[in-house]
Structure 1
Amino acid sequence: MLRQITPRHLLFALAFVLLTSSVGAQASTALPSFKADPMQTSVSGLSSGAFMAVQYQVAFSKSVRGAGVVAGGPYYCAGTLGYAAAAICMGMVPFMPPNPALMLDAAQAFAASGQIDPIAGLQDDRIYVYSGTKDTVVYQQAVDATVDFFKLAGVPVQQVKYVNKMPSGHALITPKFGNTCAANAAPYISHCSVKGRGYDQAGDLLAHIYGPLNAPAATPAGQIVAFNQREFADASSGMADEGYLYVPTSCAKDSSNCKVHIALHGCEQSVAVVGNDFYSDTGYNNWAASNRLLVLYPQVNASSIPYNPKGCWDWVGYTGPAYATKAGVQLAAIKAMVDRLTGTP
């Protein structure tokens, strides 16, 4: 016998739908397809995510407008040395910074063989770089080399913004959320002030890349979608089963003029470790909501095979020697996700 559906039942059902859609991410599904502008993609990240952001920017420079590099070293810094090069690439060896000229030589060789886009594709891009003076994980001499790499690659000086005077530790910086400014601790999100005003790093880097932006939304309207990453990379890639996408309400209605920003977490900063802190509290979504940005939050987890004990993005070659090229399994997976969001075949 069918049960009669009353208005009261409908109200309860509606309340349940609203509640479950506004708290956390929806259940994992296929990454939705959109029609965002394929030439307006940008990327940013912290720590290993910053190294990965540099790799993505360089490998796909034809279609990437700019990058935000927070506490990350130059392209292909580890080369073929893997973890043995980590101390130098993170600036831990006094008076022995990474050599950006060698990194540029490697990039030019990859470009000549078609493994990455031509280096000339970087010259119209905009690069934001950040290093805190209290960072004891990736030291400033390593981040200095990142700035020098992009300048050597032909990026005009006025298109490179280097913020390196703030007394922060190893973290993404927000106006209010997270640890105190000088902390070098989980969740690697901290709040700092400049002249008595909270520093909004997400807004600063996005504005440098895209130009003047609308003010951020106090509460970002839209939806966090959890999606299946296995469509793009298997477990041998080190990538997690699920990734996340923030879809502002405006882009859900019509994505034709929307842009894509890729936000890459750092080591020990995936959802498995810090919950939703990175994809909900770093400020990206607030700016995205009012500026028609889809924000892609790919995820990588700790693993023993491949050896990645801290859940870092691959900037040392643990997935194979092609890790910094278009054929790198993680770079290729992220590019395929972006192609889905831009409707690129």
Structure 2
Amino acid sequence: MSQRAAQAARLFTPAARLAGVASTLVLAACAAPSAPPLPSLALDPDRIAVAGVSSGAYQATQVHLAFSDRLRGAVLVAGGPYGCAGGQLDTALGPCMKAEPFTPDPARLAGKVRERAEAGDLAPLAGLAGDRVLALHGRDDGTVAEGVSRASLGVYEQLVPQVPDLALRWDGAREFGHVMPTAASGVDCRAGGAPHLGACGFDAAGEALAWLYGPSAAPGVATGELRVFDQTPYVPAAGDPLLADRGWLYVPAACAAGETCGAVVVFHGCEQDIGRLGDRFARESGFNRWADVMRLVVLYPQARSSYLPLNPKACWDWWGYTGPDYDTRRGLQLRWLASAMAALGAPLE
């Protein structure tokens, strides 16, 4: 067996196969009645941002660099740098997760960003002007190495000479594992494990939104509406982005009533998709109660499990399973997002 095949096989475990079957059954059970499309809301184009955890952090940095001229920043929880995998699964599983046999090189990857920006595959570097990027990593994370997370911010640091007002922050001193840290929801913060939400006494969502949008009044209980929506109308005609049929949208009452609001797109991590967790990630990750006081709509897109191509854990595409353009504006998942955001009222293109 080749090294690539052996590494891929580690993803294709009996547990993963059973999870995939369960995911399919849950989605089938949710198939009726049909979900509505996204509503058209009054959104402030200057208050649109992205965030993500694990594979969702990889997706967030891909989206940010592809559409930075329409976004104000990104929060990356336990993810790695743009372009790290280079379309290779073995690279994704080694250097881009474990920093083995080498740590990703931010200077080389920043060079790739410059080249792609000049070619129009990403937004012009000038689109990063005034943006804010936070990289958050737990000291007990045994899934993604600290050096990989540092490299995610390191790529942006390499771009600072061309974008001097880019605001960057590294937060890596907190004790938590490979989880989305919450104030009280989830499993043991340091040990981690499914559903990869950690009861850490640390509200990472609040920290993320304060970095992106500035401080706000303390939140209470989320009083807006978490809506299911149909993801299929936004699928590009050219191919399958391998997304679930349904996604989640949180709408504060003020935004539903017609007030102008901002929006943050939050990408779940592997094994946190709707097929496994239903609405748990959207309800318990901590963003919704802050969204009420900060006047933010929260979009939670949902990936889906597959075996051909190999993605049994419903990770976002950061190694190329949807095609060679996966991390550019032409990528199927990024094109899906652009279409969905246009429908919502915040065009990315």
Structure 1-normalised TM-score?
0.86
Select which of 69, 88, 112 maps to 2:118.
112
In 2, Cα distance between equivalents of 1:113 and 1:191: 44
Partner of 2:105: 99
**Aligned-residue identity in percent:** 38
Partner of 2:133: 127
* Residues 60 and 151 of structure 1, relative CA distance in 2, 3 Å threshold: same
Superposed displacement of residue 305, structure 1: 2.8
- Secondary structure of the structure 1 residue equivalent to 2:222: coil
- Secondary structure of the structure 2 residue equivalent to 1:323: coil
Superposed displacement of residue 236, structure 1: 2.4
Superposed displacement of residue 261, structure 1: 0.3
Select which of 41, 51, 72 maps to 2:48.
41
What is the alpha-carbon root mean square deviation over aligned residues? 1.8
- Stretches of structure 2 lacking an aligned partner (at least 5 in a row): 1-32
- Secondary structure of the structure 2 residue equivalent to 1:28: coil
Structure 2-normalised TM-score?
0.85
Partner of 2:230: 228
Alignment of 1:192-207 (within 5 A): 192=200, 198-207=201-210
In 2, Cα distance between equivalents of 1:251 and 1:43: 18
Q: Is the 8 A contact 2:248 2:279 kept in 1?
A: no
Q: Greater CA deviation, 328-337 or 42-51? A: 328-337
Superposed displacement of residue 254, structure 1: 1.3
Output the amino acid matched with 1:102.
R
Partner of 2:253: 249
In 1, Cα distance between equivalents of 2:154 and 2:38: 36
Cα deviation code 1:44-69 (max 9, x no counterpart): 01100000000011110001101110
Alignment of 1:126-165 (within 5 A): 126-154=132-160, 159-165=167-173
Cα deviation code 1:219-238 (max 9, x no counterpart): 21121111111111278211
Output the amino acid matched with 2:106.
P
Superposed displacement of residue 157, structure 1: 8.6
Q: Is the 8 A contact 1:27 1:225 kept in 2?
A: no
Q: Is the 8 A contact 2:137 2:149 kept in 1?
A: yes
Superposed displacement of residue 338, structure 1: 1.5
Superposed displacement of residue 39, structure 1: 2.5
In 1, Cα distance between equivalents of 2:232 and 2:40: 16
Cα deviation code 1:14-62 (max 9, x no counterpart): xxxxxxxxxxxx9611111112012211100110000000001111000
- Stretches of structure 1 lacking an aligned partner (at least 5 in a row): 1-25, 193-197
Cα deviation code 1:305-326 (max 9, x no counterpart): 3321110000001111111111
Output the amino acid matched with 1:179.
V
Output the amino acid matched with 1:147.
L
In 2, Cα distance between equivalents of 1:341 and 1:56: 17
Superposed displacement of residue 84, structure 1: 3.5
Question: When the two structures are aligned, how many residues end up with a matched partner?
Answer: 312
Q: Greater CA deviation, 121-130 or 231-240? A: 231-240
Partner of 1:13: none
